[in-house]
Structure 1
Amino acid sequence: MALATWWRTDLLPALAPLPTFSVQLSDDRELIARLAHCSPRIIDARFEAGDRLYLAFMDEKPAAYGWVTTHKGYITDLRLTFALPAHNSYLYDFLTLPEWRGHGIYPRLLQAIIRQEESCERFWIGYRPGNEASARGMSKAGFQIICDLVVTQSRASGLILFEQSEHALASSGVFQLPIVATESSSR
């Protein structure tokens, strides 16, 4: 799983406006459970933990969603849990509904979250291997893809940095994993 970050000192690229696009915080548990095809108990647990849900709309219809946490992040599949430092947030569980894919909603949703989460200085997000649409959307939004998780026996065990930048080096402290290698990459 590759990881990316955006910091307040980074450029936020201009994206052409989508005329009927809007983003808002939501606590509509039934709607998100339906959109995400998951149990309302999972949604309730996220809200109880203090996580926030952002919904993107096109023509006032739900088009995409994503979650923000500022205290504790997790990547369940890789048995990784990490406490976030102050002023950091982890963005997770994003989905653009199939009928809205290809319209540039994902990078605009990411930028809307950055703008609305004013107390956060650093944003972190990941994407699964092979999900090039997510990688492109993150890059369009201004995120730098900085490292990859090393997985050993289905567990995250370290980081491979794509660069020796301050952003990449900070990932070790955020995800509480050792840096095991640095690779030269044209990312």
Structure 2
Amino acid sequence: MPFGTWWRGTPLPDLSPLPAFSASISTDTQLITRLAKLSQQEIDDRFQTGKHLYIAFISEVPVAYGWVATREVNFPHFQFSFLIPPRNCYLWDFLTLPEWRGRGIYPHLLQTIIRQEALVDRFWIGYEPGNEASAHGIRKAGFHMVTELVIAEGRVSGLTLFDSSEYAQASADFFHLPIVTNTGS
């Protein structure tokens, strides 16, 4: 699973204008339930563990969403969780509704989150291998792809760095994982 980061002070690339676009934090559980197809209990659990949701709109129509984690991250599939260091956040569980895909909404949503999360200096985000649309949107928003989880026997065992940049080196501290030399796999 590849991950990218954006750090406060790094210029954000200009995006093509997206007329009538807006995005903001939402606590409207009925809307969240409808968009994200989560139960009330799942939404409550996310809110109680320091997570919050941004919803993107075109005019007044909700078109996309994404979650921001500020305390902890859990990847149950890989039996892996970690605490988020201060002034960092992890962006996750993003979705652009099918009828709105291909319009550049995802990078606009990511940049809006960056601009609105003033207490965060480092933003981290991952995507499922093979999800090139997500990878493209993340890069287009200004994220630098830095690392990938190393999975051994169904569990996270470390990170492979994509380069030797300060961003990549910092990923080991963020994820609390050792750096594993790339074996070419």
TM-score interval, smaller chain? over 0.9
Equivalent residue, structure 1, for 2:80: 80
* Residue in 2 that maps onto 1:47: 47
Unmatched 5+ stretches in structure 2: none
Q: CA deviation at 1:76?
A: 2.5
Q: In the alignment, residue 54 of structure 1 is paired with which amino acid?
A: Y
Taking the aligned partners of 1:98 and 1:128, their CA distance within structure 2 comes to 18
Q: CA deviation at 1:96?
A: 0.4
* SS, match of residue 94 in structure 1: strand
Distance 1:46 1:179 in 2: 29
Which residue number in structure 2 is paired with residue 57 of structure 1? 57
With the length of structure 1 as denominator, give the TM-score of the two structures: 0.94
Provide the TM-score with structure 2 as the length reference: 0.95
Residue in structure 2 matched with residue 108 of structure 1 by the alignment:
108
Q: Distance in 2 between matches of 1:116 and 1:76?
A: 29
Q: Give the drift of 1:154.
A: 1.7
Q: Give the aligned partner of residue 97 of structure 1.
A: 97
What residue is the counterpart of 1:34 in the other structure?
34
Counterpart check, 1:25 vs 2:25: yes
Q: CA deviation at 1:59?
A: 2.2
Residue aligning to 2:168? 168
Q: Aligned-pair distance for 1:20?
A: 1.1
SS at match of 1:119: coil
Pairs aligned (count): 184
Secondary structure of the structure 2 residue equivalent to 1:181 = coil
Percentage of matched positions with identical amino acids: 55
